[in-house]
Amino acid sequence: MKRQEGFERVAQKQRTRNALLEAARELLAEGRHPTIAEAADRATISRATAYRYFSTPEAMAQEAVLDAIAQEFAAVHFRNLPAEADLPARAEAVVAGIIAMVLANEALFRTFLSVSVGGGKRPPAPRGGRRLGWIREALVPVAGDLPPGALDGLTTGLALLTGIETIVVFRDVCGLDDAAITRESRRLARVLVTGALAKC
Reduced to 3 states, what is the DSSP secondary structure of residue 113? helix
CA distance 29 to 68: 11
CATH class of the domain comprising 2-56: mainly alpha
**Count of alpha carbons within 13 Å of 76, Cβ hemisphere only?**
25
Region 8-25: what's the mean pLDDT? Answer: 88
pLDDT tens-place string over residues 36-67: 999 999 999 999 999 999 988 888 888 887 77
Cβ atoms within 10 A of the Cβ of 179, count? 8
Region 97-117: what's the mean pLDDT? Answer: 82
pLDDT tens-place string over residues 73-95: 666 778 788 888 999 999 999 99
Helices (H), 44-177: 47-53, 57-75, 87-104, 106-116, 130-139, 150-159, 164-167
Q: What is the pLDDT of residue 118?
A: 60
Q: What is the pLDDT of residue 125?
A: 47
Over 90: is that where the pLDDT of 149 sits?
no
- Which residue ranges make up each domain of the chain? 2-56, 76-197
CA distance 22 to 15: 10
Q: What is the dihedral of CA 21, 22, 28, 33, to 10 degrees?
A: -40
CA distance 169 to 176: 9
In which element (H, E) is residue 9 found?
helix 2-29
Q: What is the pLDDT of residue 68?
A: 73
